[in-house]
Structures are given as structure tokens and as C-alpha cells.
Amino acid sequence: MFKVFSLIAPYLPQMRDGVINNDDLSVDNKIYVEVAKYELAAIGDEILVNFGSISSKLKVITDPTSDFPIQIDFDARIIPDGIYMVNYSATDFAGNANESPIVTAVVDRLDSGKLIPPIFSDADANNIITNQNVIINMGTHILVPAYDNIMLDDSVSVTFWILDPTTNQIVPGSSYTVNHTIIQEDIFTGFTILVPETNILLVKRGLAKARYYVTSANNPIATSQIATATLELDGSITLPGPIFIDNINGWLTTEQLIRGIRESCGYDDIQNGDTVTLYISGYKMDNTPVEGTSTSLTTTVTPVDVNNGFTLFSFLRTIAEKVYFGYLTSYYKVTRGNNIRYSYYNNVKVDLKHISPLPAPIFTQAKDDVIYLSDIENNNGASIRIYYPKMAIDDNVTIYTDCTDINGEFIENSAYQDITILTQIDIMQGYYDFLCPKEKVLLAPVGGQIHASYRVRYANDEGFSYSEMADVFLESDTGGSMNVIITTNAAPYDYNIVHVYPCNYAKIFGPAGAQLSLSTSNDVVFVESGSSTHSLILNEKGEGRFRVRSARSGSALINIFQINDPSKELTIATSFGKYILGEGSIDFYNYSTNAASDGVMPCCIYLKTDAISGFTKADITKVRVAVDGDAKIVGYDSTYSQSATINLNDDHSCEITIINTTKELVTATITLPESSGTILRLELSFQ
């Protein structure tokens, strides 16, 4: 159900000196966080950047080729001096969400740097840390000496980072912060921490930097001077980070740990016989290491792993139980002969102190798991109620809804989400009510389902939980009511760009002989009338048909009422998609889906090819289409066929019309006889 992918840690450009000080804030008094492009970035992704629990900001991706790197600014006036965890989440259009690794921001405006610097204890006599040294030690050690006025229970945060000497910028992924509480033996000797190799082996040459920050009960934050050492490495971190495959929104709860802590390690050139070692460590939320959580597993890649493209690991859940509430960090190395490569690291948060899953949301209009069209019409949407134990002010609740057709297939553009922060009023009434817009829920056909769930980030970043799923069926009302089946996702119409006529087809049911008046928005027209209004009379079976065309992509509402009884009215929603870039010699394509299985209403495919095959150099003049199941192609080779050769228009475009009399999911396969190797497969739903 959940799609997971690896995100890159955010970047703090003002942390070049290990702190954000007055000089860094002197221009505009803002703190900047940058997000690099990540795997599977797509239009509509929502990037939520969190600066501790003080502030969060949202960015929606409109063009993944040009939007990255994303730069988010936070008003420094609301951020006091202190140490903050910074990360971001990426949520795609279908509601799949993942969280990035965590970096630490230290805000110390005065940045006095009075305490003695830490020491890179593994550096040689020339203050150089070598590649061999890092590999032997599995990182590099930093000694924090017994500083002036050191006291029991002081909280000390040690930060490491690498500067690129050519740009004087922080190397992305190099930042590492760990917290330590002073114990008796530290009073005289100080203490030592280990920076993992995955934060170091990122460059061939660089400057390793480190400093520490002390917070005590009676004193404000005190900072050390900066320690520097030269790195002479081989830059062997080139592999993507491991993936915690059971995470939800970047969290593991009790439910996700039933089968242990499962991770996958995948890289492009995986080979049989590779040795893969996966490392894991646990930390509390304040970056304090958790004893007994650092361990590793090693495996040899098999032919099955090569076929899958990844290896699977499972650590004992007791590691997460020791963390209880904190996070895990993990990376892997691949050994092939004498060559060793490392991955970037990845984090996942752990919350075992809250209940998961939480109770499912409630569709308050539903009766016996059925919600009626009239209820949605009258309320302008579907009303959903959220309740869970120990709701609190400032809890961050994200509600997800989507629709499926009668075959259980996801309906394009039906996904919707709402983010709210609970208020005093919500807590007093004991629930939060949310209205999912009717243009979203009415994308479900009669007999289809509407689904809802929610996820909670507890106030002050105190944890995470997610709910069970709620499902209701959408049904029409009885007695003179109307309902409509309409296709979705047809492309916008512009004959000047491509010589086809995309439209969504509709079939309406109601009282026989009823005279209907239809209207829609100005961007959408009825094909039959050529305008945004249309009228029709239902036949003796109470059926009628119409088509709609749009000049732009997006959702559209169609209003219908019976002329002789205006109280009988209905609003339906459809959506218009976009052309999708093709592969091979297919330039771009689009398709409509969710047609009625009545042998009349079609799903349509619209496409345009290159003029000449890049492989054979031959002119491209036709496409070949084949469909499975009981589907038929209309109007080519014979009246109804399961395969057809279709000649292209003068602009190398064509429209393919497919009908069916069976409710099923159909695969349409398109090839180009004059350009071998080009193939396109599409799934079309008939209901």
C-alpha cells in the first residue's frame, strides 16, 4: 500500500562554521534550508520542511526538472538560540509519504567560541585523516577534552561537518551531531565520539570540522572553538541509502516492527557474489546514542537478489525496543574484490510509546457503510470525523482520502489530503470534523468506494501514529433520482497542437422521458452543443449520453437538473489529465478510463509519434494495437477486433477507441511496426 523511496538529508548552507550566528543572519534575518532532488520526484509532490517543532513550511512541486534544489527560509526572529532537528517529508499525489534523514541546526548568535576545541584523535602527525584510517576505525574519533567548568550532567552536543575547500561550502550529507551527558569519569579525561564513515567518505579531499556546544542547568549555551583536520580519501560513497521498507511517513511503530526492522539495499550495478554489510545504530531524539543498538549484518548477493535489484535484511525488533522513542540510522557497504563502496545514510524515527493503529475515521453521513449521492450534494462533500485517544492542542493531523471504482482500481485525480493543527475547540468537543470536497468524492462511480485514513504527528514532535482505513460505498438515492457514469483523464483539446479530439464520455440514468438541463464551467464544453450548456431527453430506458471537452487539465463539475422538476438535481465531477512523455518513438500519449461496460461507451487512447524512427530511420505512418479480456477496438480492420493497425494523421497522431461488455481491467499494448523496440502498455478500466 505504501510506496517508499530514499530521500537525501536537507542542507543548511549557513552552518559553515558549525553554528548559525549573527553574521549568517545579518542580511535578512532568515535561516535557510535546502532540499536536493530525490528519487521519483514528481509534479504535485508536497515537500514539508520542519525546523524542530517551531515551524514547518510547505512547497508543492510544479516542475521537478527546475524546482530543485528547493530553498525554504524560516524567520529567525521566532527561533531562539538552541539546537534543532531539521528534516523534511515528501508526499506524492497518491498520499505516499517519506521522511528525510535528520540534520542538526545550531543557532548561537554570539558564537563566542571560548571553550577549547575538540581533537581529531585519529589524525596523523601532519593532522591528516586518511582513507585507510577511516575504514579501519569505521569512521573517525573526536575527543572532547575536559573543558573549563565542566560539571556532571552537562549536556554536550558534538557536531562534525566537511567543508569543500574549492567552494567553501558544506559537503551535503557530511553533517553529523551526537549528544552526550557528562558523567563522573568525563570530568578529568573528557569523552570520545565516533563519526560514522558514511558521513566522511564523500569526497577525495576536504576539511573535517568539529566543535561542541555545552548546555547546563544554570548557564546558557557555550560553544567551543573549531577543530580542523585535512581529509585525504577516495570518495567511495556513491550508493543510494538503504530503505526502511515498512516505514510510514518516516516512522516505525509497533505494527511495522512485527517482522523486525526490515531494510532493502539496492544499487544499479548489483552483481552476484557482492558482499553487502548493513550497519544500524539507535539514538534518542536528542541525538544521544542508545547502548546496545549498534550492530551489522552481512550477506552475499544471490541471483535472486540480482533479479530483484536489491538485498533484504531484517534486524531484531529489540533494537527498536531499546530506542523506544528516537530514531535509527543505517548505511551499507559493498565489497567486490578489492573495491569497497559505501552508501549514503538514511534515518527512520521510532515511536513505541503511542498506540498504532488509531481508530479509523468515521463517515458521519454513512449508514451501514453506504453514503448516498444526495448526502454529498446537500453537504457539498463527504463529512469525516477524526477521534483518537489523548488528542492534544497542536497535534498535527493529516487526513487522506481517495476513491476506487467497482473493480477496486484507484481513480485518477481522486486523492486528496488535508492538514490541520488541532485547536482548543477541537479538544473541547473531542473530535475534528473535515469535509472532503464533492468534486473529489464524486469521482467515485455509483458502486465505487471512498476511502479515508489519517496520520498524527503529536504536538512538540512527541511522536507519530496512523489510523485504520475507513471505507464506504457510494450509492444513488431511490425515487426519480439520477446518476452518471463518466470517463476520466482525457487530455485537454487543442487541434493546433495535436490533431485528435479528446473528450470524456458520459452516460446518465434517470426517469424515462425526463428533460435535462446540463451546465459546466467556461473551460469545459459539451461536444454536442459546443458550449458550456446542453439539454437532452432521456430515452424510454431512462438513458442519455453526452461528451465533454476541456481546454485545460484538472477537475470539472457538471450540473444537471430535470427541467420539469428542478428539485431533482445532480452535480458530478470528472477530470482531465495531461499528455505524458513517451519512450522510444512515441512522442507523448494520454488515455481516458472508467468507461461503462455497455459495448458503447469507450476508453480512448490519444498519442503522437516521431516522424522518423530513431532506430530504423524509416518513416512512421501507423501504430499496431492489441487488447486483452473481452475488449474490442472500434473501426479498424473490422468493426470489432482485438487487434488493429491504425494509420496516423498528417501530424503523426491518432485516436484509439476501445469498448467492452465486461466489467474488467484491460491491457492495451501499442507498438510501432516501423520502429522496432517501441512498446507502450496501458491499463483501462471498464465498470
Closest CA to 97 of 520, 454, 385: 454
How far, in Å, CA of 371 to CA of 127, rounded? 71
Domain boundary among 559, 576, 593: 576
**Mapping DSSP to helix (H, G, I), strand (E, B) and coil, where does residue 191 land?**
strand
CB contact at 8 A, 666 and 660: yes
541 occurs within a structural domain: yes
Contacts (Cβ under 8 Å, ≥6 apart) of 79: 31, 51, 54, 55, 107
Mean pLDDT (whole number) for 100-117: 87
Task: Give the bridge partners for 509, in sequence order.
Answer: 483, 543
Same domain, 395 and 410: yes
**Mapping DSSP to helix (H, G, I), strand (E, B) and coil, where does residue 175 land?**
coil
How far, in Å, CA of 661 to CA of 428, rounded? 54
Same domain, 61 and 75: yes
Closest CA to 261 of 246, 242, 251: 246
Whether this model's pTM surpasses 0.85: no
pLDDT greater than 50 at residue 479: no
How far, in Å, CA of 401 to CA of 363, rounded? 11
Question: How many Cβ atoms are within 10 Å of 11's Cβ, its own excluded?
Answer: 22
Looking at every residue in the chain, the average pLDDT score rounds to 89
**Mapping DSSP to helix (H, G, I), strand (E, B) and coil, where does residue 189 land?**
helix
pLDDT greater than 90 at residue 288: no
Residue 642 has a pLDDT of 86
401 occurs within a structural domain: yes
Same domain, 671 and 589: yes
Same domain, 558 and 602: no
Closest CA to 72 of 98, 105, 42: 105
The residue type found at 545 is R
114 occurs within a structural domain: no
CB contact at 8 A, 77 and 29: yes
* pLDDT per residue as tens digits for the range 1-27: 334 456 788 999 998 888 899 999 999
Mean pLDDT (whole number) for 363-390: 88
How far, in Å, CA of 267 to CA of 332, rounded? 11
How far, in Å, CA of 248 to CA of 470, rounded? 18
**Mapping DSSP to helix (H, G, I), strand (E, B) and coil, where does residue 92 land?**
coil
Residue 130 has a pLDDT of 94
Cell representation of residue 492: 485537454
Same domain, 248 and 231: no
Contacts (Cβ under 8 Å, ≥6 apart) of 461: 50, 52, 53, 85, 285
Same domain, 197 and 279: no
**Mapping DSSP to helix (H, G, I), strand (E, B) and coil, where does residue 482 land?**
coil
201 occurs within a structural domain: yes
23 occurs within a structural domain: yes
Residue 636 has a pLDDT of 62
Same domain, 512 and 612: no
Residue 494 has a pLDDT of 87
Tell which wins on pLDDT, 636 or 171.
171
Same domain, 560 and 524: yes
How far, in Å, CA of 578 to CA of 587, rounded? 13
DSSP label at residue 565? E
DSSP label at residue 491? P
How many separate domains does the chain show? 6
**Mapping DSSP to helix (H, G, I), strand (E, B) and coil, where does residue 378 land?**
helix
Same domain, 330 and 388: no
Same domain, 228 and 242: no
Lowest mean pLDDT of 116-125, 516-525, 649-658, name the range: 516-525
For the chain, what's the residue count? 687
CB contact at 8 A, 546 and 527: yes
Lowest mean pLDDT of 20-24, 162-166, 232-236, 355-359, name the range: 232-236
Tell which wins on pLDDT, 456 or 249.
456
111 occurs within a structural domain: no
Task: Give the bridge partners for 457, in sequence order.
Answer: 396, 464
Cell representation of residue 163: 567543508
Residue 56 has a pLDDT of 83
Domain boundary among 200, 235, 270: 235
The residue type found at 147 is Y
Domain boundary among 75, 106, 137: 106
CB contact at 8 A, 95 and 415: yes
The residue type found at 681 is R
Cell representation of residue 314: 531484517
CATH number, domain containing residue 536: 2.60.40.10
Contacts (Cβ under 8 Å, ≥6 apart) of 269: none
User: Is residue 93 very low, low, confident or very high in pLDDT (cuts 50, 70, 90)?
Assistant: low
Find the domain containing 529 and state its range: 483-576
Mean pLDDT (whole number) for 594-610: 91
Q: 115 — alpha (psi -120 to 50), left (phi > 0) or beta? A: beta
DSSP strand pairing (251-252 vs 346-351): parallel
Lowest mean pLDDT of 131-140, 301-310, 537-546, name the range: 537-546
Cell representation of residue 501: 479530439
Q: 379-393, 566-580, 603-617 — which one is most confidently predicted on average?
A: 379-393
